[in-house]
Structures are given as structure tokens and as C-alpha cells.
Amino acid sequence: MNGYLEALQAKMSDADFQKLAAIPHTKVHEFIAKASDLCNCAKIFICNDSAEDIAYIRQKAIETGEEKVLAMPGHTVHFDGIHDQGRDREATKYLVPKGVTLSKALNQIDRQEGLAEVKSLLRDSMTGRTMIVRFISLGPPNSVFTVLGLQCTDSWYVAHSESLLYRPGYEVFRNADPSQEILRVLHSAGKLNENMVSVEHEKKRIYIDHMDNTIYSVNTQYAGNSVGFKKLAFRLAIRKADREGWLAEHMMIMGVHGPGGRKTYFSGAFPSACGKTSTAMLPGETIVGDDIAYLRDIGGVARAVNVECGIFGIIQNINPTDDALIYKVLTSPGEVIFSNVLVKDGKPYWLGMGCELPKDGVNFSGEWYEGKKDEQGNPIPPAHKNARYTVSLRALENCDPELDNPMGVELGGIMYGGRDSKAYVPVQQSFSWEHGIIAYGASLETETTYAILGQEGVPEINMMSIQDFISIPLGQNIRNNLEFGRKLKKAPIIFGVNYFLRDKDNGKFLNTPSDKHVWVKWMELRVHGEAGAIRAPTGLIPKYDDLRRLFKKVLNKDYAEEDYVKQFTIRVPENLAKIERVQRFYQENVSDTPSELFEILDQQRQRLVEARKRFGDYIPPESFEW
């Protein structure tokens, strides 16, 4: 027995001690021992992923009040504090040693200063509580994609969420080489009130020690800040991928059915609340994942896996018309955790669910009634805009059978999409891998949404939808993506999508939410060379006749040529302004930007300028059919 195991024995039952001792990994024992010592927990529970252990965690989440049982069998609800409703950019920082600087676009703090601060907040934070230890397999177990994850937390809700979101990792740890790298997370909800809600929000800290592959999170319960293997350890995986020559991406993965019974897999990067999950959940298609993907070059082919096996999804606007599959799961018996919705008579309600909401109930603010206001005098909505649901992918009728394939799935296409109300057309294909990575990926522009604390609606560059999470120089990430595609024998085709284009005259959206299914079907045909395209200055855009047929086939909807012209008119001034914003961002924030980025954007600018000379500022698509 090593010294760390010996030190832990007094805080564990014999059964838990045997479970931990079966893992021959001294670094695991060391991390747990040091976490226990720092946080001063009363007990330690080791989860070995047995049905009994998983059920015990769920029951404890209910017993402690972190979750409450709802009327539908299997459904529970969790509430986060009113100041803990989204990923907190200000409180999330990288710990950087003296003499080292990451991109100016990233929050950072001196490593020693940050460690001292976060450890002081974690000290004695688990007094009188149980520390739960979870072992996670990121990606399918026993695969070239597998990454090991270890989390210590005092939140039964967090531990329960991980049961739904991640593949069990205890047996993987038992059989792992003791020298194998581990991503580690230490989390404490901190001081709780009578409703089991973290209350010291001003002391919320989420610090990433990339030197030691460790995440520290304290005084928060919101899953994006506390479930360490969501976006937090993702930051560490990006560094691991950079060292080892693969890609860790903020991407969904879906299977799209095409003619003759074929299925083509796509990955897609979208910032939060920009359509990623709703794209992955399109009816009639299959979902492999909705959030984080690992991409590897296997035999010259790009293959991808879902790091997770569940969904922590935004619930706003999920209704039986637009999201029938997920709505059915959320309104049927089965294991689902709701968070920050409105509860009335044991039933959850959320914004945009397609029915009238109650005038009172319980929500993230406590007892709620119509007209209730917050400390600043602002009306409190019945449910939060960023209210969520947590569910296993296997609960979905459209879960792809390749979810746990250790070799992943072959990618035929990659999408990049944000919230761009003014410039980019709804769907376009890149001229090349390099053009797609730069013009659609590195230039991805969006507007801030309710999924992130702070002001909404502010336009910003969000490079490949990864900017909040990236822990290597931004320019290096662009180079990694460029090189990844160049080495492939058969690179996926890159597409740009934009579901949020507005009419430049009246400001109304030019698409309905269901239209995205047509764009996806067009992309599938393009991968196989079975649909035409028009060469516009920003990319290859669809032809009207192809879309008209697809609208009828996919949505049984007539598609007016007038709508097509509005949607696919190239807006030269807006596109030129977009290029200026992108170039300025990289010039001011990214010292290692590859010159190729500026060259490709300059080529796009020149194409736009030349088109304007011939056709004017706003160019309908038929103008390019020469």
C-alpha cells in the first residue's frame, strides 16, 4: 500500500477502499488524497460505475435536495443560483507561469497567484460533506481516441450529471498504463443555502492549470462551470491534441441520409445557442454527438468520435413542432435532469415550449410569480433563457448506432456556423480546405448569447467556436487545422452556415428554424457531387432549382424564387466590413497569426471588390451564373 492510499483509508468504507486500491495508478491516489486534505471532506465515495453506485449517486442528489423529484417518472430538477446561470468568462482563467503569455483574447492569471487564491477558496470547502470520485472515459473506451478523466466533487448533482453525460471509466482506469496522462478536476459547490444553491458567487473561480492538467472550480454549480469534462477539461484536451497531432473541437457529429440509403457523417462547430444541437437533432437523421468531438487522421481519412454520450442542452424553444424528437424524450418517462426551468405542480415549463406557461411556481429565483423583479428591478422570466436538460444520447430514437465505435465515423463534411445577421448567406461551400478553415472557421463571427454571462447581442469573432476554450496560441490552432486537412488523402468538404441572416430592410429573419434541414441535405449532395453550385465571391452557393426540389422533398414546402434571391444575395458592403473586423481582430490579438489567413481574406476581398464593380453592392445569385 502506498502512502496516499493509507492516508485515505480512514475516510472510506472498506468497499470504497477496495474499489480505489484496485486502480494501480499512484497519481490517482495522490490527486484524491491531496483534494481530500485541501477540502477537508468527511467521507469519500468511490464510484465504480456499477448499477448500484450509479443509483446511489442519483438517490443522494435527491436526498440532499440538490435535485427534486418531478411528477414524470425518472425526471428531476436542479436549480442554480440567480448569479450562476451560465459559463462565467470573467471567473474562468488560465494559470500561466511567469514569463509565459497566452493570447490576449484569453483570461489569464499568474500561476502561483491563481493557485494560492483558488486553493484558499477550496480549503475546508467540503467540511462535513462527502467527496465523490468519478472516473470518466472521454471518447469510446479502449480506443485510439480514449482520454482518461478523473473528477472529485462534493456535488451529488454534478456526479449524477456525469452518469448521463459520460462513458464509464472505472474499468478503463483499472486496466490503464499507470503512466497514461489523466485530465483532473477538483470541484466544490462551496457554501450552500437552504435550497442547496451556491451563494458566494462573488468568490466563484474556475481556474485551469494547463501545466498540471488540472481544473479547479469552486462556488458554482452550473454544469458548464462544475461538470469538469464539459468545456473545462476540453481546454486541456486541446493542448494534448496540439502535442500529439490530432484535433479536439467544439463540434457536433451527425449522420445525414442521402439517396440510395447512404449515410454521410458531418461535424459542425457552432457557438452556444447558435443551432448546433438542433442541427444534430434534425428529424430523420442520426445524432452521434452535440458538443465536443475528437478528430484523428486514421489511414489518411478524417474520423471523429463524440467525447461524451449525453446532452447538456439548452431547452428554450424546444417544442413539438421544431424539435419533435427531443421534446418527446423530455415529456416521457425516463432519466432526465432539468435545470433552471419553472416548476408548477411537479411539471417543468420552459420558454418557447409551445404552450401557455403558469403565472407562478418555483424557478431559479425561488418562489416565482408573474411580475417578480430582481435586485436591479428587471423582470424575472418564468424560466431562464439558458435553462437546460441533461439526458443520455441512448434515450433518443435517433441515436446513431456508431456512437461507441472505437474507430469513430468518417467525416464527409464539416460545417461552421454562427449568428451573422448581416453578411454571410445561409449555406455555402468553401473553394478549398484552406479557404474553409480561414473564411468560415477562423472568421466565424457571432453575437453573444444568454449561454454566457454578460451582455447579449454583441458581435464578436469566435474562431472555430473554440475561442472561449482554447489553451494554445490562436495562430497555432489555425495552423494545426490547416495541416490536418493537407495531410489527409480525402479531406472533408468545409461549409459555412448561417441560420440568422436578417432582411436588410425590415430586420426580420430570412429563414425558419426548419429550413436548416434543406441546407444540410444540400451539403450531403455536394459531398457526393450530386447538386450544382454557383461560384460567388464568398463560396459556392446553391442553385435555386436544387433548393426548390429539396424544400418540397424535405419539408413539403414551396420555395419562392423571391425568398431564394433575398437569402443568397451577396451583400458586398457587409462582407467587406466582416473581413475588416476579422483582420483587425487577428492583427490586434493574435501575434502568431499565419500569413495565410491574411492572404486568403485579401483574395476574398478582391473577389468582392471586383464583383461590386460589375454588379453593384447587392448582387442577386443569378448574376454569377456566367
Catalytic residues: 274
Cα 543 to Cα 545: distance, rounded to the nearest angstrom: 6
Cα 583 to Cα 602: distance, rounded to the nearest angstrom: 9
**Residues contacting residue 528 through CB under 8 Å, at least 6 positions apart:** 258, 262, 264, 412
DSSP state of 490: B
Encode burial over 522-550: b for 16+ CB neighbours within 10 A, e otherwise. bbbbbbeeebebbebbbbbbbbbebbbeb
- Residue type present at position 180: Q
CA-CA-CA-CA dihedral for 17, 21, 26, 29, to nearest 10: -20
Please name every residue paired with 392 in a beta bridge, in sequence order, or none if there are none.
310
**Residues contacting residue 539 through CB under 8 Å, at least 6 positions apart:** 425, 428, 429, 430, 431, 435, 439, 440, 496
Contact 488, 469 (CB under 8 A): no
Please name every residue paired with 264 in a beta bridge, in sequence order, or none if there are none.
256
> Can you list the pairs that 121-125 forms with residues at least 24 positions away whose Cβ atoms lie under 8 Å?
121/190, 121/203, 121/205, 121/218, 121/219, 122/38, 122/39, 122/186, 122/188, 122/216, 122/218, 123/38, 123/39, 123/40, 124/39, 124/40, 125/39, 125/40, 125/154, 125/188, 125/190, 125/218
